[in-house]
A and B are shown apart, each in its own frame.
Chain A
């Protein structure tokens, strides 16, 4: 079993819709959760971090964490073609020095 699982996609949504990206993890001791966006040919960039159960909103992005069910999700509201990228989920224990990354979900936002 992989430490972090993501559906590889591609997930296709029309412009203006809500994109929902999901991630499950296996280590119940995980306490730090991150979403990275990676455009084709570029390096990943951190877009959201979440540490507590519930929702965390930042602009059009909302991260959701449910530790009991061991999943973390990312919602992108009013999706734009510029959101088309691969989204990577990363998980870590507190003070653990390294993350476990999922293999990423490719998102296509169609104009």
Chain B
């Protein structure tokens, strides 16, 4: 069966510090991978999605970036965090074309102080 791992679960970082969140999927190959952010009490905002290695689409302009160094690994990064980057970060995967839904990881709660 497929599983998705996301870490860390919680993170407190100072403004201006770098960020690296990692997500890996097991039990499947060539998945679509996604990064979402959910601000407190708000809906899901799609940040990046990837349909293959080195194929990453950015949905919103911001100081975040994403990379997919391996087929089942997706990394979200920032060089300098802003207070507005605080939120609940969710990684998700789907089969190609996403016709059958996403499966989300357990999420990382990031607080920028």
Interface residues, chain A, with chain B CB atoms under 8 Å away: 32, 34, 41-46, 49, 88, 90, 92, 94-99, 101-104
Determine the distance from Cα of A98 to Cα of B90 in the docked complex, in whole angstroms: 14
Q: How far is the CA of A88 from the CA of B99 in the complex (A)?
A: 17
CB pair A43 B90 closer than 8 Å: yes
Given contacts A42-B107, A43-B107, contact A94 B101 (CB under 8 A): no
B34 contacts A43, C-beta separation under 8 Å? no
Query: B104 to A49, Cβ gap below 8 A?
Result: no
Chain B 68-113 residues near chain A, CB threshold 8 A: 90, 97-107, 109
Q: Smallest Cβ distance from A36 to chain B, in angstroms?
A: 8
Q: Are A96 and B98 in contact (CB under 8 A)?
A: yes
* Interface pair A99/B102, CB less than 8 Å apart: yes
Interface of chain B residues 18 through 71 with chain A (CB within 8 A) = 32, 34, 42-44, 46, 49, 51
CB neighbours of A88 from chain B (8 A): 43-44
Query: Is B106's CB under 8 angstroms from A104's CB?
Result: no
Using known A-B contacts A97-B32, A101-B44, A102-B43, determine if residue A46 contacts B102 with beta carbons closer than 8 Å. yes
Pairwise interchain contact A45-B99, C-beta atoms closer than 8 A: no
Provide the residues of chain A in CB contact with B90, threshold 8 Å. 43-44
Shortest CB–CB separation between residue A32 and chain B, in angstroms? Answer: 6
Q: Chain A's nearest CB lies how many Å from the CB of B107? A: 5
* Cα-based distance from A97 to B106 in the complex (angstroms): 21
Are A95 and B97 within 8 A (Cβ)? Answer: yes
* Residues of chain B contacted by A98 (CB below 8 angstroms): 34, 46, 49, 98
What chain B residues lie within 8 Å of A45 (beta carbons)? 104
Closest to A103 in B: B43
Given contacts A43-B104, A43-B106, A46-B102, contact A96 B97 (CB under 8 A): yes
B97 CB to closest chain A CB (Å) equals: 4
A-B contact pairs, 29 of them (CB 8 A): A32-B98, A32-B99, A32-B101, A42-B106, A43-B105, A43-B106, A44-B44, A44-B104, A45-B104, A46-B102, A46-B103, A88-B44, A90-B102, A92-B99, A95-B99, A96-B97, A96-B98, A97-B51, A97-B97, A97-B98, A98-B49, A98-B98, A99-B98, A99-B102, A101-B43, A101-B44, A102-B43, A103-B43, A104-B43
